[in-house]
Structure 1
Amino acid sequence: MKIVAVDKTEYIEIVNVWEASVRATHEFLTEADIKFFKPKILNEYLQAVENLWCVKNRQEHIIGFVGVADDNIEMLFISPGNRGKGIGKLLTSYAVEQLGANKVDVNEQNTQAVGFYERLGFKVVSRSEVDGLGKPYPLLHMQL
C-alpha cells in the first residue's frame, strides 16, 4: 500500500469515506449530527489540516485517510470494507514518523478507536466533557 497526498479535487471522495466510516463506528452520533458535520468536513475541516494523506486501492479509490495539523492527528478514517487490514496503522505510523504527530483526540464513546490508539502506544492524558463544538460527546486527549 502506498500513501499519497490528497488533492483538493478528491475532497468529495474523502467526505464519502468519512461518512461511511462514521456510520460504521460512531453509533452515538445521530443522523442530524452527521448532516451537521458533513458540510463542515468538506468546507472547513479538510482545509484546516496542514497534511492530508490517503491510501488508495488498485482502482485508485480512496480507502483511508489521515489529516494532521501541528502535532495532532485531526482525522483518521478508513472505509468500512477496508478496516482491519492495517491501513489505519499504516496511516498513523506515517503521521507519527513523517509528519511529527504525537497527539490525537478521540471520542470517548468510540471505544474501537480508543483501543486502536492505545495499541499503538497512545495514552490518555486528559478528558473533555464536550467536543470542540460544545456537543455532548466527551473527548479523550491522547498522546504518545
Structure 2
Amino acid sequence: MVIRQALKSDHPDLLALWSRSVTVTHDFLTAQDIAHLYQGLQDQWLDAVQLWVLETSERIVGFIGFDDNKVEMLFIDDGYQGKGYGTQLIDFAKQRSGLLRLDVNEQNPQALAFYQQQGFTIEGYSETDFQGNPFPLLHLLYRQ
C-alpha cells in the first residue's frame, strides 16, 4: 500500500470510486442528489482540496482530501471497505496534524462509528449540509 498525492489524471478514477462508495454508504441520498454531488466533485471540489490516494499495486482503493486541518472527504472503494484502508488514511491525516476536523452526515451511522473508533468526538451539529440540503451534519473533532 502506498499513500501518494493525487494527480489530476487520477480524477476520473476518484470520481468512479466515489460513485461506487456513495451508492453503498449514503442510502439516504436520491439518485438526483448523487448526480448533483458528483457534478460538484467533478467541477470544483476535487480541485479545492489537497488530495491523497491510497493504492495497491493494481489500483486506487481510497482517497482523502484536506483543506488545512479539515478532512473534507474520505472514501474507500466499495469492495475494500472494512479492511483497514480508512484507518490508514486517518492515521496519515493524524500524522499531518494533531488537530483534525470533519463533518459526517447524521444519516450515516457507520461512518460516525468509524470516526469515533478513530478518536473523533462530536463537537457540534448543523440541521443542513453545506449546500443547505436537509441532511444534518455532525461536526467532529480529533485532538492528539
Q: Same fold (TM over 0.5)?
A: yes
**Residue deviations 1:85-111 (CA, integer Å, cap 9, x gap):** 111000011112125651110001010
**Percent of aligned pairs sharing the same letter:** 40
Give the aligned residue type for 1:46. L
1:76 lines up with 2:77 in the alignment: no
Give the counterpart letter for 1:58 in structure 2.
S
Quote the residue 2:9 is aligned against: 9
Q: Is the 8 A contact 2:99 2:141 kept in 1?
A: no
Provide the C-alpha distance between the structure 2 equivalents of 1:94 and 1:119, rounded to a whole number of angstroms: 15
2:94 corresponding residue in structure 1: 96
Which stretch has the larger CA shift, 126-135 or 90-99? 90-99
CA distance in 2, matches of 1:99, 1:143: 12
Structure 1 gap ranges (5+): none
Equivalent of residue 110 in structure 1, options 99, 108, 111: 108
Residue 42 of structure 1, CA deviation: 1.1
SS of the aligned residue for 1:12 comes to helix
TM-score where L is the length of structure 2: 0.95
What is the TM-score of this pair, normalised by structure 1? 0.95
3-state SS, counterpart of residue 63 of structure 1: strand
Contact 1:21 1:79 in 2 (8 A): yes
Which of 48, 53, 63 is the aligned partner of 1:65?
A: 63
Do residues 129 (structure 1) and 127 (structure 2) align?
A: yes
C-alpha contact (below 8 Å) 1:130/1:139 kept by paired residues: yes
* Alpha carbons 1:95, 1:101 under 8 Å: kept: no
* 1:57 Cα deviation from its structure 2 partner: 2.1
1:37 match: secondary structure: helix
Aligned AA for 1:70?
Answer: D
The answer to whether the 8 Å contact 1:106/1:142 transfers is yes
After TM superposition, give the deviation of residue 58 of structure 1 in Å.
2.0
Question: Gapped runs of 5+ residues in structure 2?
Answer: none
Task: Tell me which stretches of 4 or more aligned residues in structure 1 moved more than 6 Å.
Answer: none
Q: Would the aligned equivalents of 1:66 and 1:73 in 2 still touch at CA under 8 Å? A: yes
By how many angstroms is 1:70 displaced? 1.3
Tell me, yes or no, if structure 1 residue 26 matches structure 2 residue 26.
yes
Task: State the Cα deviation string for residues 41-79 of structure 1 (Å, max 9, x = none).
Answer: 011101111x210111221x2110000101100000000
